[in-house]
Structures are given as C-alpha cells and as structure tokens.
Structure 1
Amino acid sequence: MSELRVVTVDGSPGAVDHLARALRAALDGGPPVLPVVPGEAVVAGEPGEGAAVAIATSGSTGAAKHVVLSAAALRASAHATAERLGGTARWLLALPAQHVAGVQVLVRALLAGAPPVVQDLRAGFRPDDFAAATRELGAERRCTSLVPTQLARLLDAGGTALDALRGYAAVLVGGAALAPRLHERALAEGVAVVTTYGMSETAGGCVYDGVPLDGVRVELEDGGRIRLGGPTLADGYLGDPGLTEAAFAGGWFRTSDLGRWRDGRLEVLGRADDVIVTGGENVAPAAVERVLVAQDGVAAACVVGVPDAEWGSVVAAAVVLDGRPDNRALDGTALAERLRAAVRAELGRAGVPRILRAVPRIPLRGIGKPDRMATAALITAEGPAAPIAPSSHPRNG
C-alpha cells in the first residue's frame, strides 16, 4: 500500500508544475498525492489501493476532512467534462491547486496531453495576471475554472481582462452559488459561463448547468436532500472508516445540500444544516440570498440565523451595497423595506430578514464560499437591530 506523497503548493507556477508531475505519476499507478499549503500539518492515514490524491475539504461543518480520490474517479470526471464541453481544450489554472477544482484542472490538462498555463496566485488573484496568462495560453480552444468572486473581478476590471475571459470556450464557475445577476451579467458580456455543482467527494463538479455529467446519478431524498452516485465518487475519508461508512453507502454519497428539480435541471437550494428555523418555520438562506442579490443596489448577500429568545432564531442578512462600502444597520430605511418586500413577495413572511446590515464585503472561506459563522459574528457584533415594523416580523410579514 503506497504512502502519501506530500507536495507543497504556494500558488507559484513552479510549485504547481511539481504537483502536476506528481499527479501524472499517481494517475499511472504511482504513489497518491497530498497537496498542502506551506505550514499545513500533514495528516496520516492509508489511502488504499487505487488512490491517486487526498484532498482537504473546506471544513464548513467543523474540522477539515481529507477525501481520497482514485485515479479512476479523476479520469472519469475529466473525460465526462471533455465530453460535455465538446472536446478537449487547453486549460488555464487560476484556482488554488490544493483544492479539488484546481486538481481537476491539472488532471484535465494532463489527460488532454496539453500542459496547463498556471496563473501565479502568490499575490492573490489579479485580473491583469489573468489576461497575461491567457495570452500565454494561446490555443484556439481554451477553458478555465473560476469561483464567482473571480468572475466578478474580471467583469469589473473590463478591458483586456474581460477580453481574455470572452475568449474561453467554457468558463466553469463553481465553489459557491453563482448569483443570478452576476450570471446574467457574464452572459450578456459574451462569457461562456457553465455553472457547476459538486464537491471533493465527487471529484469536483459533477452537475453542469443543472444537468448531471454522463454517468453521474442524482436522487433527492424525502425533504430534498441530494444524493450523488456514479464513477466520480471518492473512495471515502482518509483514516476515518466510520465517517466513510456513514456518508458513502450503496454506491451513493449523501450530501449536506438540499435541492429540487426545476424544468429538468437540478436547482441547489443550500445546505441542510444552514436552514434557519424561525417561529417553527424553515427558511433556506440561499433562497433569501437569491432574492436579495436580484435587487437593484445589492452586490452580494449572506443570510444567517441569529438566536432570538422569542422565535428561536431570526433571519439576518449582511448585504454589500453597490457603490456604498459602509458598515451600518439598514433598519428603518426605504432600502430595507424594499428588500424585505421583495423577499416577502417571493418566499413568504418567514423568509423576511428581521436584521439587515450593510457590510464592505462578505467573509469568505476556502476558494470562495460564504463564511456563515463569520458573517453571523459580524452581524451580531453590530449590536441589536433597530425596531422594525410589525409587517416584517417572521410570522406577521
């Protein structure tokens, strides 16, 4: 049984090239790879036969776990992606290579026989660097993978960065929910956006634009919990057979997400453990966020539950306002009532945010997911909300 080959990646092209060579060997039956960032503790465990890589999850529900992916799962995902996107392409890596989305860009490039171009991320993601890396990429058919924050920065930058973005045959966007307004804006600018849904346990994105990749199976349990199956599933969690047995059973992975079918496509509603129970009613934060970011003046939003003595929890929202990066309570303002009215009309009274805060930015974790714990701390640190009209109360909205 092979031991893990630890490869340190710091965002530099040289380090990523080292990782790519290690992945190439792992895909051909060599030792499995564990990509880590500088200073990260190295985990122990036996990955098992056929393993190619161990990937740390983002740790959204506690301590990060390490998912073991086989060479077969990585290959199945890469081949299914090429099939869905219309063939092989030259890839640009603009994501951190230690995450599953970054690893999969490398695997797709390796299997296509065309080495990727790597954007240097040591100083963070910069639109000018993206444009320069795209020029280096060349190729008639090129693809890349981004998170929504990166997509927004490229659109905001305009100029050569936006021109570079328009030149991709496909821009996979995942890692966090893509706000409808941002999606529409990108499409209007001529960007070939493909939304993806998946996680480390499924070798990255396995549902594109709401449609499962070839071979991927999707089922919804009672209550809407999403289950995923097919050849891209991970072998389990490194060194944790109990957790593996609980999450992977009968050829399925039971996610923490809720979803529904809409016009034949999977719509992800958010995490089951994020659901806010207020006054005995369930509210999905992602649904409230989609309504808020669709309103004029709102650039981003994160919705959380805040403990309340009377209602158990109340819905609270942190919003980033277009052109107003201040940090203040919105309660009592015309904008607040407009936002609440929009939520009430779309989702009903229970979803109406009782607390609204304007913040400079939404706290993020991993490669771009909203950090709900940090957002809740940010909201509550501002003190109690100003009194609001009874019509905005969770039950009387």
Structure 2
Amino acid sequence: MEIVPTDGSPDAAARLGALAHAALAGDGPAVLPTGPGDPAPPAELTAPVNDTVAAVVTTTGSTGAPKAVLLPAASLRASADATSARLGPPGRWLLALPAHHVAGLQVLLRSARAGAPAAAMDLRDGFRPEAFAAAVAGAGAAYTSLVPTQLVRLLDAGGAPLEALRSFTAVLLGGAAADPVLLVRARTAGVPVVTTYGMSETCGGCVYEGRPLDGVTVTLEDDGRIRLGGATLAAGYRGAVSDADRAAFTPDGFRTNDLGAWRPDGRLEVLGRADDVIVTGGEKVAPATVERALLVQDGVREACAVGLPDAEWGARVVAAVVGDGLDAETLRAAVAPGLGRAAPRAVAVLDALPLRGIGKPDRAAVRAHFGGSDRA
C-alpha cells in the first residue's frame, strides 16, 4: 500500500494519477490518497491489501465517520470503460475536483486509460471560475467532472468560464443532487451536462442521466431504498466499521441509504437520503420536494431543507436559500400553498450554503443555523 498525499496542486494530482494507473495495471502497489490536512492514516488502513485491490479511498462521512472503501482494479476498469462507452470516444479529462475523492481519482484514471494524463486545475486556493477557464485553455480536454456548486459559480461568472464549459464534449455532474432549474439553466447556456449518481462504494458515478452504465444493476427495495450492483462494485470496507455498514454489502449489491423511484420512461429518480426524510405530523417529507419548490422561485439559486424537533409535530420543516434580492417571508408564503404540511415554517437567506466533502450541502450546519441539533 502506498500513501499518496495530495494538496490540490497539479503536480500532486499527476503523481497520484501515475501511481493509480500503475496499480490498475498491476505494475505497482495499491494507492491510498489523502487530502490536504488529513491526519496520517491509521495502521489498519495502510497494511497490505489483496492483490485485486488497486485503491483505497475514504468516503466523505455523510452518515458519520468516514469509511475506507476497497476498490478492485477490475471494478475501476469497468467503471472507466463503461463511462467511455456511454459518453463517446475516449479523450483527455480535466481534473477540477479534489484528487483524493473517488470522483477526482476516477478523472485521473479515465484520462490515463484514454492515453492522455489528465490536465489539472490548481485547487490550493479553492475553486475559482477564472482559474477553471485558464486550466481549460490549451488543455485539449474533452471531459470534466463537477459538483453542482461549481457549476453554479461558473454559470454566474459567465464570460471565459462559461465559454470553457461549453467547449467540453460532456460535463459530468454529481456528488450532490442537481436541481432541475440548474440543469435547464446549464443546458440552455449550451453546457453539455450529464448527471451522475453513485458513491465511493460503486467506484463513483454508475448511473448516468438516470440509466445505469453497462454492467451496473439498479434495484429498488420495497421501501424505495436503492441497491446498486454489478461490475463497478467495491470489495467492501477496510478498518473499523459498524455491523450495519458491513451488512450494506449484500450478495445482490450495495444497499445504499438513498431512496429512489422509477420514472415513466424507465429512468431512476433519486429522491434523497432515507435519514434526511422529515416526519412532520405523521407525514413523510423528502427535503428535495421542498427544495424544488423553492428553486423555481425567482432569484433562488440554491436551497437546503431540513427538519427541526417540534413538540407538537415531531419535526418542523425549515429551509435555507441562496440568491439575489430574496425576502425570506415572501418566499415562504409563495411555496406554502403548493406544499401543504411540507411547507417550511421558516426560511433563512444565506450568502452561501455550508458545504462538506466535495460540495454536498451540510445539513447539520443548516440545522445549527436555525438553532437545531444534528438530527430532527
């Protein structure tokens, strides 16, 4: 096992890409990438792994402490090749995500398998639209991968950053739910966005535009929980994890904590995390339902709905929004008639949503803004 520190620099990304590609080909040890400021991995994560494993990546800890995921070389290859088959001819990729997360690692591996090391942004000062445009210029990259927050910033910037976005054959969008309004805005602006769904346990995105990649299986359990299986599945976890976490890997695939539904055209719709559902007055409210209602209001660019404990209703719905010229009470009144009991009891206008990982809304921080605890 080789620990590969990354600091957001192109040089560190290039080193990780070369070492990971060697591991994928069986010409080097498995890699364990770490991010800037990460503590040294514990000994239980750095011990030798099975020869079939090419990488160990940590999750972003959405349900607690991060977990170390074992990614077999065969699963990583299947993911990269299925992505190429879905998007079009192999081409160079631009890395605009942290390299130590699975989405960033996959950008490096897909590009290497296409025969061209990835171009990489310098992310040591964070993601900036102007730096993105500069990285795209002359890179000859056909593909990139972003999270919704990055896409919003690039669209807001316009000019050279937007022109850079338009130059790609495909722009994968994942890591967090993308609202329909953002997708319409991007596609109207000429950005070739492709939505993705997946996680570290599936070698990253494995469902594109609601349809599984070749070799991937999607099953909905009776309660709507999504189970993912097939060629891109991880080999399990390494180190200390709970019995419930281990049990998520079943003979039939990985049992996610996400809820989904089949659309009439056969595509998968991800409704949100099961543990984010708000039960208010005995009614189950998916935060995405509230967020979509807010996002169609004029001026709203981002939204995050959460539940707070309530003595009468069990939980009450509140929401934080980001946008221009917004009035919280006007927004609340505008969406209330269509949402009924799911309507937010309070709305807060923020300068920016708190984020964690590679761009997912930090719902615990939103609850804290309203004076609530980590869970409703």
Please give the TM-score of this superposition, normalised by the length of structure 2. 0.94
Q: Is the 8 A contact 2:332 2:344 kept in 1?
A: no
- Within 5 Å, which residues of 2 pair with 1:175-186? 175-186=175-186
Counterpart for residue 19 of structure 1: 16
CA–CA distance in structure 1, aligned partners of residues 294 and 112 of structure 2:
41
Q: Give the share of equivalent positions with the same residue, in percent.
A: 59
Structure-1 separation of matches of 2:323 and 2:190: 25
CA deviations on 1:79-98 (whole Å, 9 max, x unpaired) are 00000001201110010001
Q: Per-residue deviation at 1:244?
A: 5.7
Runs of 4+ more than 3 Å apart: 240-245
Once residues 330 and 132 of structure 2 are traced to their aligned partners in structure 1, the CA distance between those partners, rounded to angstroms, is: 40
One-letter amino acid matched to 1:260: A
Amino acid at match of 2:18: R
Indicate the residue corresponding to 2:144 in structure 1. 144
Post-superposition Cα deviations, 1:205-238, rounded to whole Å, max 9, x if no partner, equal 0000001101110000011000000010000111
Distance 1:26 1:228 in 2: 25
Query: 1:203 maps to what in 2?
Result: 203
1:138 is displaced (CA, Å) by: 2.1
What residue is the counterpart of 2:32 in the other structure?
A: 34
Alpha-carbon offset, residue 60 of structure 1: 1.1
Residue equivalent to 2:358: 367
- Is 2:199–2:205's contact at 8 Å kept on the other side of the alignment? yes
Native 8 Å contact 1:237 1:243 kept in 2: no
1:340 aligns with one of 302, 317, 336? 336
Residues 31/243 of structure 1: CA separation in 2 closer, same or farther (3 Å cut)? farther
Instruction: Check the 8 A contact 2:145/2:173 in 1, yes or no.
Output: yes
Shift in CA distance, 244/319, structure 1 to aligned 2, threshold 3 Å: closer
The answer to whether residue 306 in structure 2 is matched with residue 315 in structure 1 is no
**Residue 211 of structure 2 corresponds to residue 220 of structure 1:** no
Is this contact kept in 2: 1:100–1:204, CA < 8 A? Answer: yes
1:117, 1:136 within 8 Å by CA — same for their partners in 2?
no
> 8 Å contact 1:318–1:379 — kept in the other structure?
no
2:159 maps to: 159
1:240 shift after superposition: 4.2
Q: CA deviation at 1:129?
A: 1.2
Per the alignment, residue 251 of structure 2 pairs with 250
Query: Residue by residue, what CA displacement relative to the aligned partner does 1:269-323 show, whole Å, maximum 9, x if unpaired?
Result: 0000111111111111122112211221212111111001111111111112324
1:89 maps to which residue?
A: 91
Letter in 1 for 2:161: A
In the alignment, what sits opposite 1:355?
Answer: 346
Matches of 1:119 and 1:63, distance apart in 2: 28
Q: Is the 8 A contact 1:166 1:190 kept in 2?
A: yes
1:109 aligns with 2:111: yes
Aligned equivalents of 1:299, 1:316: Cα separation in 2: 17
Q: Distance in 1 between matches of 2:72 and 2:104?
A: 16
The letter of the residue matching 1:338 is: A
Instruction: Give the paired residue count.
Output: 365
Alpha-carbon deviation of 1:356? 1.5
CA-atom RMSD in angstroms: 1.5
Name 1:229's counterpart in structure 2: 229
Alpha carbons 1:6, 1:34 under 8 Å: kept:
yes
Q: 1:293 aligns with which of 295, 303, 326?
A: 295
Which moved further from structure 2: 296-305 or 44-53?
A: 44-53
TM-score (ref. length: structure 1): 0.89
* Higher-Rg member (1/2): 1
Letter of the 2:8 counterpart = G
Q: Give distance in 1, aligned partners of 2:323 and 2:371.
A: 19
Distance (Å, rounded) in 2 between the aligned partners of 1:58 and 1:350? 32
Which consecutive residues of structure 2, in runs of 5 or more, have no partner in the other structure?
A: none
Q: Is the 8 A contact 2:331 2:347 kept in 1?
A: no
Aligned equivalents of 2:354, 2:277: Cα separation in 1: 19
In structure 1, distance between residues paired with 2:298 and 2:364: 26
Shift of 1:130: 1.1
Would the alpha carbon gap of residues 99 and 315 (structure 1) be closer, same or farther in structure 2, given more than 3 Å must change?
same
In structure 2, what is the equivalent of residue 387 of structure 1? Answer: none
SS at match of 2:371: helix
2:168 corresponds to: 168
Q: Is the contact between residue 297 and residue 331 of structure 2 (CA under 8 Å) also seen in structure 1? A: no
Structure 2 residue 368 is the aligned partner of structure 1 residue 377:
yes
* CA shift digits 1:135-165 (9 cap, x unpaired): 13126xx000001111111111111111111
